[in-house]
A and B are shown apart, each in its own frame.
Chain A
Amino acid sequence: MKNLLDLSIGESGKVLSFENQGVVRKRLLDMGITTGVQIKLIKVAPMGDPLEIELRGYNLSLRKSEAKSINIE
Chain B
Amino acid sequence: MKKHTIALAGNPNCGKTTLFNFLTGSKQHVGNWPGVTVDKKDGVWKNHKEITILDLPGTYSLSPYSAEEKIAHDYIVNEKPSVVVDVIESPNLERNLYLAMQIMETGIPTVLALNMSDEIELRGEKIDVEGLEKHFGVKVVRIVAKTGEGTDELFKAVEETIEKNIVPNKLSVYEKIKVLDDEGQANARYDEIAKVVSKNYKKNVVLKSEDSKSSKLDKYLTSKVLGLPIFALIIYFLFQVSLSDNLFGLGIPGLGILLANWVTAIWDFLTSLISGAIVGASPWAYGLVIDGVMGGIGAILGFMPLVLVLYLFLSILEDSGYMARVAFVLDRIFRHFGLSGKSFIPMLMGFGCSVPAIMATRTLDEEKDRHITAIITPFIPCGAKLPIIALFVAILFPAQETANVTFLIYILTFSTAIVVSLLMNKFLYHSQKSNFLMELPQYRFPTLKSIWNRSFEKVKGFGKKAGSVILVSTILIWFLTNFNTASFTGENRIANNGESVMSDMDDSYMASLGNAISPIFSPLGFTGWRPTVGIITGWIAKENVVATFAQVYDEDLSEEYLESYFGSDSAQLEAEGFENGVFDIDTANELYADVLANGEDPNAFPSLKRDMPSTSGGFAYIMFNLLCMPCFAAVGAMKRELKTIRRTAGGVGIQMLAAYVVALAVRILGLIFGF
A-B contact pairs, 20 of them (CB 8 A): A23-B435, A26-B65, A26-B182, A27-B65, A28-B437, A29-B182, A30-B63, A31-B60, A32-B95, A45-B329, A45-B331, A47-B332, A52-B440, A57-B92, A57-B94, A57-B209, A59-B214, A59-B440, A60-B438, A61-B437
Cα separation A50 to B437 with both chains bound (whole Å): 10
Contact between chains at B335 and A61 (CB < 8 Å)? no
For A30, what are the chain B residues with a Cβ–Cβ distance below 8 Å?
Answer: 60-61, 63, 98, 186
* B interface residues, how many (CB within 8 angstroms): 40
Does A24 sit at the interface, judged by CB under 8 A? Answer: yes
Size band of the A side of the interface?
20 to 34
**Shortest beta-carbon contacts, A-B, top 8:** A29-B186, A47-B332, A30-B61, A46-B227, A59-B440, A56-B94, A58-B92, A34-B187
- Name the interface residues of B77-108: CB closer than 8 Å to any CB of A: 91-95, 98
Whether A31 lies near B91 (C-beta < 8 A) is no
Is A68 among interface residues, defined by CB-CB distance under 8 A?
no
CA distance A60 to B228 in the complex (A): 20
A residues near B95, Cβ cutoff 8 Å: 31-32, 56-58
Task: Provide the bound-state CA to CA distance between A52 and B324, in Å.
Answer: 12
Q: Are A63 and B436 in contact (CB under 8 A)?
A: yes
User: What residues of chain B lie closer than 8 Å to A43, measured between beta carbons?
Assistant: 218, 222
Interface assignment of B423: CB less than 8 Å from any CB of chain A: no
CA distance A46 to B328 in the complex (A): 9
- B223 part of interface (Cβ distance < 8 Å): yes
Q: Is the CB of B328 within 8 A of A45?
A: yes
Within 8 Å of chain A (Cβ to Cβ): is B237?
no
Task: Please name all residues of chain A whose beta carbon is closer than 8 Å to the beta carbon of B437 when the two chains form the complex.
Answer: 24, 27-28, 31, 60-62, 66
Residue ID in chain A nearest B61 by CB atoms: A30
Residue from A25, A26, A63 having most chain B Cβ neighbours under 10 A? A63
Q: Are B98 and A32 closer than 8 Å at their CB atoms?
A: yes
Q: Is the CB of B186 within 8 A of A34?
A: yes
Taking CB as reference atom, which chain B residue is nearest A64?
B332
Min distance, Cβ A14 to any Cβ of chain B, angstroms = 13
| A49 beta carbon closer than 8 Å to chain B | yes
Q: Across the two chains, which residue of chain A brings its CB closest to B93?
A: A57
**Closest Cβ–Cβ distance, residue A37 to chain B (whole Å):** 7
Partner of B190, one of A37, A54, A62: A37
Which residues on the A side are within 8 Å of B669 (C-beta)?
Answer: none
